[in-house]
Structure 1
Amino acid sequence: MFRDLSHPIESGMPTYPGDPDVTLTPDASHDADGYATSELRTGTHAGTHVDAPRHTIDGGATLDDLDVGAFAFDAQLVDCRPLKPREPIGAEILPDELGTESDSPPNLLVLRTGWAEHWGTPRYRDHPHLTVAAAERCRELGVGVALDTFGPDPTPSASEAASVASEHAESQGTPAHDVLLGDELAVVENLRGLDGLPQRFRLFGFPLRLRGGDGAPVRAVAEWEA
């Protein structure tokens, strides 16, 4: 079975604060030109996408430096729910061991926070996030992470009051990104449709081949045996 885990790319879609807006507009038309084309303007980290190490690591690998096979993952779903807005996801939520005697270990943990349901609302910015300890645990296990949020680190809130009111001390900068990308472990962001997936599945997230890319949109697709 297959399932698309990607958000559609469309004008006005949510973007990380400060990133370019996305516009998708008609260019040529059948009536005027006899064919249809469109103009797409987007940042490299819009919608469902992967990060290259260059995203937060100065001199880190770009998309061109990584083998295309690095974007075909053996994934394991980790249900982190229920979570509060801006709640940190600690290392204790992650599995102690990966795989079983009959299954090979995964190389990607797909963390289901439930935040995809807030896509398109200001609340989406107030997503849970990884602690540095959790990111370091992933590094020890040799697994990347995929999330149904803007990313593994906190995102500036649409409401300053929401950040101030958070009961948890939040890390600054991109420490979880740095731990993962510093070891060239995958970071996949803004997934959707995680409900009902089996615990183990294949996830394909092949990025656009952007020369020197620090990241790129993907068509994230899950595959599993029915």
Structure 2
Amino acid sequence: MKIIDLSITLETGMKVFPGDPEVKIEVAHTYEKNGWELRNLNLGSHTGTHVDAFSHMHQGMDSLDEISVESFFGEAQVVECSKEWPKNIELFFTEEVDLNYLPQFLEANPKFVGGEITEELERALLKRGIITYTNLVNLDKIPKHSSFTFYGLPLKIKKGDGSPVRAIAIVQS
């Protein structure tokens, strides 16, 4: 078994989507002064590797606290646009996928997808109840068209539209 970290490290000053809050991570308590260490996090809900709730782009749809935890992990594959996609399995892409592929997504019927997805496709997928993951790294380390187990659990934020995640792939050797 091999575990592959698919997450970007969060740090002060990291790149964010234009207009999103800047990331500031500051030490609030120190061992010397308080006997423990604690950081103050200031960041947007769509910072770094993150998951998007349906409510992110569609008012009235489910937020993170309303989506079952089982929706954030499952059997997955990294697939190519030019090949046939498996059905009822979660899909990840290392190449950009746009709205033209929406019929293929609907036919494949995944509960979540991730990788290089355009904003227009993300909006369409969320509207149809398909969760999206953004800013994943190391997908190229996973053999294409081979199944692996994906975990990308968000914080349970009340009315949360999205959350940073620690995303991992568990690949059987």
Q: 1:62 to 1:3 in 2, by over 3 A?
A: same
The corresponding residue for 2:152 is 205
Q: What is the Cα deviation at residue 184 of structure 1?
A: 1.2
**Distance (whole Å) between structure 1 residues aligned to residue 98 and residue 34 of structure 2:** 53
Which SS does the other structure have where 2:107 is aligned? helix
The corresponding residue for 1:109 is 91
Identify the match of residue 113 of structure 2 among 145, 158, 162: 145
Counterpart amino acid of residue 123 in structure 2: D
Q: What is the Cα deviation at residue 66 of structure 1?
A: 0.8
TM-score (norm 2): 0.90
Q: What is the Cα deviation at residue 210 of structure 1?
A: 0.5
**Distance (whole Å) between structure 2 residues aligned to residue 196 and residue 48 of structure 1:** 17
Q: What is the Cα deviation at residue 176 of structure 1?
A: 1.0
The corresponding residue for 2:141 is 196
**Distance (whole Å) between structure 2 residues aligned to residue 94 and residue 70 of structure 1:** 27
Counterpart amino acid of residue 133 in structure 1: N
Which SS does the other structure have where 1:96 is aligned? coil
Q: What is the Cα deviation at residue 106 of structure 1?
A: 4.7
Q: What is the Cα deviation at residue 190 of structure 1?
A: 0.4
Which SS does the other structure have where 2:91 is aligned? strand
**Distance (whole Å) between structure 1 residues aligned to residue 88 and residue 23 of structure 2:** 33
**Distance (whole Å) between structure 1 residues aligned to residue 73 and residue 82 of structure 2:** 21
Quote the sequence identity (%): 31
Alignment of structure 1 residues 114-193 onto 2, 5 Å = 128=96, 130-143=97-110, 144-147=112-115, 149=116, 152-153=117-118, 174-193=119-138
- Answer yes or no: is 1:96 the counterpart of 2:84: yes
Q: Of Structure 1 and Structure 2, which has the larger fraction of its residues in strand? A: 2
Unaligned runs of 5+ in 2: none
Task: Decide whether the 8 Å contact of 1:136 with 1:179 is kept in 2.
Answer: no
Larger radius of gyration: 1
Which SS does the other structure have where 1:57 is aligned? coil
Cα RMSD for the two superposed structures: 1.6
Counterpart amino acid of residue 153 in structure 2: F
Task: Decide whether the 8 Å contact of 1:74 with 1:106 is kept in 2.
Answer: no
Task: Decide whether the 8 Å contact of 1:112 with 1:194 is kept in 2.
Answer: yes
TM-score (norm 1): 0.70
Which SS does the other structure have where 1:69 is aligned? helix
Unaligned runs of 5+ in 1: 80-92, 99-104, 114-127, 154-173
The corresponding residue for 1:76 is 77
Between the two proteins, the alignment pairs up a number of residues equal to 169
Q: What is the Cα deviation at residue 8 of structure 1?
A: 0.6
**Distance (whole Å) between structure 2 residues aligned to residue 189 and residue 179 of structure 1:** 15
**Distance (whole Å) between structure 1 residues aligned to residue 128 and residue 102 of structure 2:** 11
Which SS does the other structure have where 1:39 is aligned? strand
Task: Decide whether the 8 Å contact of 1:139 with 1:185 is kept in 2.
Answer: no
